[in-house]
Amino acid sequence: MAEAVTAATLAAQPGLAHGFFTRRGGVSSGGFAALNCSLSGRDDPDAVAENRRRAADALGLPGAALVGLTQVHGDAVAVLEDPWPIDRRPQADAVVTRRPGLALGIVTADCAPVLFADVEAGVIGGAHAGWRGAVGGVLEATIAAMCAIGASRARIVAAVGPCIRQPSYEVAADLRDAVLTRDAADARFFADGTRPDRWQFDLAGYCAARLAAAGVAAEVTPHDTLADEARFFSHRRNTLAKGGPIGHQLSAIALTA
């Protein structure tokens, strides 16, 4: 069975299903073991299809109800009205919908998955927030797209899912400079690194702050994808280990009523 962690804020919403899935409970093997849900990697497509079916089943939906994107670390938002074919996924890093019975899927392996809902309006969203997307405004763009199809900013609730956390995320000057060029006050999201000219970046805290500034309070789940190898894929951990191709975990949200 596909394993997922949940956010209390979203779990309390009626007519809503969501999950930040771990790597447990799938059928893939090797570096993709086991619940790899990425449509863009080198895993066996049949295994990925079964993994995504299991994730959808955990949400109480058929496999065909799970809709994904071709994620590009940008700020584009797709509006889902009808499911698109897997081979014609839009290039975007967020998706919103008013359509019940469809699960919006975001895949990550250290970046922050962020799920949104205004259940009164019947509008949900999901975003992939790596540091580039977060700095570039993908979270604010998702909120704006939700409001454009009927959501109220004041009612939107959000959760930042498992991602690489600050103690694990040592970065160089290019990332820090990009963040501080936008707002020097965001230096508060950096701690001294373990090496000269390196800093530890609080991606989850940065995402939560950007959401709060946009008028949406967000719950932040406590999980560190790099530190918890048993439960999560991590691109940074794999790079440090000089490993081969790996999988990505899925985060998904759906209106059920």
- Segment 105-143, tens digit of pLDDT: 999 999 999 999 999 999 999 999 999 999 999 999 999
- pLDDT tens digits, residue range 190-229? 999 999 999 999 999 999 999 999 999 999 999 999 999 9
Q: What is the mean pLDDT of residues 131-160?
A: 98
User: What's the CA gap between 127 and 74, in Å, rounded?
Assistant: 10
- CB within 8 Å of 42: residues ≥ 6 apart: 245
**160 pLDDT higher than 90:** yes
- pLDDT tens digits, residue range 7-40? 999 999 999 999 999 999 999 999 999 999 999 9
Give the Å distances, CA to CA, from 153 to 78, 156, 170, 215: 18, 5, 33, 7
Give the Å distances, CA to CA, from 55 to 60, 160, 211: 9, 19, 27
**149 pLDDT higher than 90:** yes
Q: What is the mean pLDDT of residues 236-245?
A: 96
- Give the containing element (helix H, strand E) for 5: strand 4-5
- What was the pLDDT predicted at 81? 96
pTM: 0.98
- pLDDT tens digits, residue range 64-95? 999 999 999 999 999 999 999 999 999 999 99
Q: What is the mean pLDDT of residues 172-191?
A: 98
- What was the pLDDT predicted at 255? 98
Task: Name which of 203, 116, 200, 125 is nearest 163 in CA terms.
Answer: 203
- Domains of the chain plus CATH, in order, are 4-165+202-255 (3.60.140.10)
**257 pLDDT higher than 80:** no
- What was the pLDDT predicted at 87? 93
User: What's the CA gap between 248 and 21, in Å, rounded?
Assistant: 10
Per the listing, tokens 């797709």 go with 78
* In 54-134, beta strands by DSSP E: 66-67, 77-80, 94-97, 103-108, 112-118, 123-129
Task: Give the side-chain half-sphere CA count within 13 A for 129.
Answer: 33
For residue 207, the SS3 value is helix
User: What's the CA gap between 169 and 91, in Å, rounded?
Assistant: 26
User: What's the CA gap between 58 and 19, in Å, rounded?
Assistant: 8
- Partners of residue 5 on adjacent β-strands: 20
